[in-house]
Amino acid sequence: MKPKITLKDIAKELDVSISTVSKALKNSAEISKDTKDKIKAFAKFYNYRPNNIALSLKNKRTKNIGVIIPDIVHHFFTTVFRGIEKYANKKGYNIIVCISDESIEKEVINMEMLANGSIDGFILSLSAETQLKNEYTHLKELLDQGIPIVLFDRVTSEIECDKVVLNHNEIAREAVEHFISAGSKNIALVTTEKYFNVSESRRYGYLDALEAHNIKIEENLILTLPHDMENDSLITEFFQHNKVDAVLCVNEIFAIQCMSIIQELGFNVPNDISIIGFTDGILSRFSVPRITTVAQHGELMGERAAKLLIDRMEWVDEVEEPFKTEVINATLIKRGSSIN
């Protein structure tokens, strides 16, 4: 029995794009007769059978884009969604958004539901559980059938597709160097579990800055908080038992939590302990003092992700464009929670 093959297998074997294979099998006039004959013969020899769900998605252009985000708590994801919608609407596309709630099961269910003829392509940021389990079969199956996907922010090297990311390492290093320039030496990092690729990249930037300035790395000054539970007690214990004069938090919620607890413990922000967080959201802009933050330019990231997807979906040439990874440069916004 011949092995089951996909559009991706045919494309790789015949050195053409997946979209060329898909169009050839549907007898598209865009593809030359010789190319169509070659692809059809190869597919027939290997008993190629299309994925019915994927086929319905490709055959029925809906002008809808499926967007899957991990949660709606973080201000960053709402700004990315705003950017996606803004660009997509301008190009005549509508947006259907789903929340994975950091669950791989919900991520899969959402994608299966939307792929059943409802949308033309996906934009998503991976759930915590997807990254933890390192399980991407649901994404690979759609990509193998020529369904375009763009990953943003939380991405993986396991998936070959278009991506939009932040310069996490570089901006984290810049944030730590801001602390160092103000005289801080006992600089802490409050982060999430290592399987979050964005948190890990920010941790590397933190470590790079300390090493570059010959500051000894103290493992006890790195606090890793679980993303799915209350952690006020862990933060309180951390600041009670460690000498800290500055803290970099990998998200806005951690920054607000840390500042509140630091102040409850009797420390002054920024004179005793300076704080920098990621995401220039409402919490950071209206806290007391206002938090020095890393602006991630979520709306721009959303616009870039939407452009990559729509360009991919509307590509008509036989030779498909190589996948792109676009990097958004973050900006450090200095406010009252750090000494300038």
| Amino acid identity, position 123 | I
Find where tokens 């500055």 sit: 246
Q: Convert the pLDDT of each residue in 105-120 to its tens digit.
A: 999 999 988 887 788 9
Q: Which candidate, 154, 93, 85, places its Cα nearest to that of 118?
A: 93
Give the DSSP letter of residue 320.
P
Helix, strand, coil tally for the chain in percent (to 5):
45, 15, 40
1: buried, middle or exposed (CB in 10 Å: 19+, 13-18, 0-12)? exposed
State mean pLDDT over 80-87: 97
Query: Across-strand partners of 326?
Result: 164
What is the spatial distance between Cα 299 and Cα 278, in angstroms, rounded to a whole number?
15
Q: Convert the pLDDT of each residue in 207-264 to its tens digit.
A: 999 999 999 999 999 999 988 778 899 999 999 999 999 999 999 999 999 999 999 9
Complete domains list, the chain, with CATH? 7-50 (no CATH), 63-166+298-328 (3.40.50.2300), 168-296 (3.40.50.2300)
Q: Convert the pLDDT of each residue in 303-314 to its tens digit.
A: 999 999 999 988
What is the spatial distance between Cα 165 and Cα 325, in angstroms, rounded to a whole number?
7
Share of the chain above pLDDT 90, in %: 70
Structure tokens at 285: 């802009």
Q: Convert the pLDDT of each residue in 258-289 to its tens digit.
A: 999 999 999 999 999 999 999 999 999 999 99
Which of the four pLDDT bands, split at 50, 70 and 90, describes residue 50? low
User: At 123, which helix (H) or strand (E)?
Assistant: strand 121-124
| Amino acid identity, position 137 | T
226: buried, middle or exposed (CB in 10 Å: 19+, 13-18, 0-12)? exposed
What is the spatial distance between Cα 227 and Cα 63, in angstroms, rounded to a whole number?
35
Give the DSSP letter of residue 4.
P
Share of the chain above pLDDT 70, in %: 94
